[in-house]
Chain A
Amino acid sequence: MNPEHCVIIGNGPAANEAALTLRGESRDLRITVIGQEPVRHYKAYLLPEYVSGKLAEDDLYVNPPADHRERDIKLRLGQKVETVSFDTREIILDHKEVVRFDSLIVAVGGIPRIPERLQVFSDLFLALKTLADARIWKQKLKDAETILMVGGDLTSLSFTKALLAMGKRVIFMINEDSFWPLRFDDEIRSQVTERLTAKGVEVLNRRTIKGLAGISENEVEIETDAEKLSVNAVGAFFGLVPNVKFLARSGLHIDRGILVDDYLRTRFAGVYAAGDCAQVYHPELRDYWVSIGYKNAWNLGKIAALNLIGGKIRAQAVAQSIFRVGGIAVNTSWWTEF
């Protein structure tokens, strides 16, 4: 008798917790985790400290190496999903393999966002989303002294801390919509500016970037409406967008992320979404909220898994902690961490 096959796409906190939860609740279910990055699950929010050298690579990992094998969870790393066909219940991997599933959890997270008007310069921007990114930063920071941070999401703030600890000179160009989902008003702006300046960061407010030019391997020139800067590296921290482009034609309801009900169900039976890639419906607000941050993703992964095997747990967020920004409601319990 073939056991049911549950596939989890992604290998971040939502995916990892979903897998462990499923296995904890069910001995028989066949579980496959497909992650695009060729590394085991790690805590991405610790990447800044890995770059600064405060943490070693091994400190980032969550599960012991043989853990998944011992739990009989099939871990497929470095493999990419090309598309999903929900009517035939098939996942197509980009090396033309067909994986059939009975149930599915999409937990692909987000990818760094570059504002449209700056996309032409994307080659010169360095993000810090993955371990691969972190390795590039480590290499670069051997020679780089002055770093321009553009944006202002959660990662940018913790990375700035790390750079300062490394003795680097940091110029921070605040980009308003990077603080999404937080509504950026003057109060938040002055708060942020003050805290950064107090730490020794040069803060540039209300700038528009006119152009970037890569002069050499170690030198980038930036022209704004106010000045010309020459730095060694430029970091892009404009937040994340759900990594769901590959599902655009799959039939799922997608807004920015995958729309799910308060039980994290998509419109297809047995298919769930959790973590940064999902937009969860709040029945009281009659609207969808997006979660950000490790803890939330972890939580949603757990809920999706429990519901998949027959649970009835609502992905609750306290109504007050949900903001409306730009037509989107957001769960911001992470904000207090900074």
Chain B
Amino acid sequence: MTVEVCGMAGDGTIAAGGLINEAMSLGGFSVLGFDSYPAEIRGFGRCVTRSRIGSEEIVALADRTQVLISLDDEQSISRVPFLVDNGGVIFDNNPSGYREETKSLAAKLEPGISLFGMPLGDLATGASGTVRGRNLTALGAFTAIFGVPPDLFRKAISDKFTSKGKAVLEANLKSFNAGLRYAEEKFKDRATPVFDVRNKLGSGKRVMLSGNQAIAKAALDAGLKLYFGYPITPATPIMEYLAKQLPQRGGRVMQMEDEISSIGAVLGSYYAGARAMTATSGPGFALMTELITHGVMAEIPAVILNAQRGGPSTGLPTKTEQSDLHAAVFGGPGDSGRIVIAPTNVEECYAMTVKSFQLAEKYQTPVIVLTDFYLDNRVENLASPAASSEEKADWNMYPHDSTRGKYWRYASTESGISPRALPGTEGFIYTATGLEHTERGTPDYSPENHMMMSAKRYRKIMGALADLPSPVEFSSGRELEVGVIGWGSTFGSVLEAVNTAAERGLRVGALKITSIFPFHADVIRSFMNRCGHVLIPELNYSGQLANLIGHLHNKDVIRLNMVTGVPFSPSTILFEIENLVGAGT
């Protein structure tokens, strides 16, 4: 079931959506929530929260909404096309003024929709003295109409508002209860329109986290010492979260003057041995390119998070997209191969961020973690993530004592990894440089040296495959009519589409790729060769993953490219799958 709350900025829409997520999470449901905010900072504009709730793991947003809670009817009109035919709408039937038909929500609804009109504002004012509690009144009504145990909401309200003081908390609970009582009475004879949440409750403690929160938490848990960053949508929340938490763990957040100094300071820190990180988006990432390639050449670790958004250039700052793959893998001058990984959900945001520090250290290279606006801002409930000491362990390869006094920083080894001394260590003095250099580290432009060092660096990066997660297959069998490959947040939609297709009897499979570079060519190729068609849906125009791995298939891969600024809907992918199944070879 999908529940939306829609209102104008200032109506408490986001708070209401957050409470729905929390309450249903407390009730043991799987929850995936995603909000849209007005683009402007000032108080205008529409806010919509979407919460998809289920008793099984939710991996994607649905196309349609079962319940719409309207805190501003005129804004909510925009959400009407997304309602299912037999959905329900909770709205205020005693607004302060009369509404024209053209601006009325009720006028736009299809006849199958159940209307639950109640005087939300009056009830809130009556209960708590202020009309601002009407978002909570609406939640009370929601609880009554759909049979959700009210205590789940009361606990969520309590958790959220206790810090604001007793008066606020009590006022909010009163508003909530007023809505609950009214709806219980008025709608007691109405059949529950769509989804009976009774008897669906599981158990188990889960926390709600957004992608950004998971990343920040992972960095903290992994022992991040220094964060250098510059504000940019949608990465800013990571810096803000760490700004509060990191000092408590002996670390520091420094807002730098730009993205260039941010990545510069990260490299400087990691050169000196401290775990450091920065997070940015497309435009900032572009600025970091030069120093990233410096990190590649000088073999200095760094962790860079690129929270992708609509591009190119300033693009669409508050819209989601996955169009920085090329920039992440190839951006920058020279053959500057580096590690690029992309989580597909909130849990992976955590796990892969923890891992990124280890990868950076072991392979002495910048590691780029690609997320996107949707993944960064959506919330999921999951078991509270934690990192084991193994997962946090220092993966630096330090030089052996026997090389003291004759240390060659860039010694060419079989793995390509040269042990790295940290400043402050006696007997291992060296200079890291962005110039091509000999194994000792002195600048050198000779042909044989450049060949050899280029090979060494590439060998080293390709060796990371051993430590990078392999693609994961979800399929109904060996030979598949259609195989769908997804990366980033698109994978959730792919998985749901493929599962639905399999339920309908189609032989389909999904492949999840999280290691973008280097990528596991053999695994991908072998999957592709078992498929009649390979479909790669991506939220970018040019098909960037397809460009990267398409050649592994013995025929053309089929690209499904959308740059709508919104997440892929499973039904779009499903439609494509079904077309392909009929299409033959």
Contact = CB atoms under 8 A, between A and B. Distances in A.
Interface of A: 38, 40, 65, 68-69, 74-79, 92-100, 132, 136
B111 A98 contact: no
Contacts of B114: 38, 78
Contacts of B111: 40, 68, 75-77
Contacts of A93: 106
B106 A98 contact: no
Interface stretch (B44-52, B96-104, B557-565): B96-104
Contacts of A95: 91-95, 99, 104, 106, 117
Contact of B99 (A38, A69, A97, A132): A97
Contact of A98 (B92, B101, B189): B101
A221 to B, nearest CB: 25
A94 B93 contact: yes
Nearest to A93: B106
B393 to A, nearest CB: 62
Interface in B552-581: none
Interface residues of B, number: 21
Given A95-B106, A99-B107, 14 more contacts: A38-B114, A65-B112, A74-B107, A75-B111, A76-B111, A92-B98, A95-B91, A95-B99, A96-B93, A96-B94, A96-B97, A96-B99, A97-B98, A99-B101
Contact of B100 (A78, A94, A98): A98
Contacts of B106: 76, 79, 93, 95, 97
Interface in B79-96: 91-95
A199 to B, nearest CB: 32
Interface string B211-238: 0000000000000000000000000000
Nearest to B92: A95
B63 interface: no
Contacts of A100: 101
B98 A132 contact: no
Contacts of A78: 114-115
Contacts of A136: 189
Contacts of B92: 95
A94 B100 CA distance: 13
Contacts of A132: 189
Contacts of A40: 111
A97 B107 contact: yes
B110 interface: yes
Nearest to B111: A75
B24 to A, nearest CB: 26
A256 B259 CA distance: 80
**Which of B99, B100, B111, B189 has the most chain A CB atoms inside 10 A of its CB?**
B111
A97 B115 CA distance: 14
A98 B107 contact: no
Nearest to B193: A38
Given A95-B106, A97-B104, A97-B107, A79 B97 contact: no
Contacts of B98: 92, 96-98
22 contacts: A38-B115, A40-B111, A74-B107, A76-B107, A76-B109, A77-B111, A78-B115, A95-B93, A95-B104, A95-B106, A95-B117, A96-B94, A96-B97, A97-B98, A97-B101, A97-B107, A98-B100, A98-B101, A99-B107, A100-B101, A132-B189, A136-B189
Contacts of A99: 101, 107
B434 to A, nearest CB: 66
Contacts of B189: 132, 136
Interface in B181-195: 189
A300 B101 CA distance: 28
A108 B206 CA distance: 52
Contacts of B95: 95-96
A93 B114 CA distance: 16
A104 to B, nearest CB: 14
A1 to B, nearest CB: 16
Nearest to A77: B111
A332 B100 CA distance: 42
Contacts of B94: 95-96
Contacts of A97: 98-101, 104, 106-107
A76 B104 CA distance: 12
Top 4 closest A-B pairs, CB basis? A95-B93, A75-B111, A97-B104, A77-B111
Interface in B98-130: 98-101, 104, 106-107, 109-112, 114-115, 117
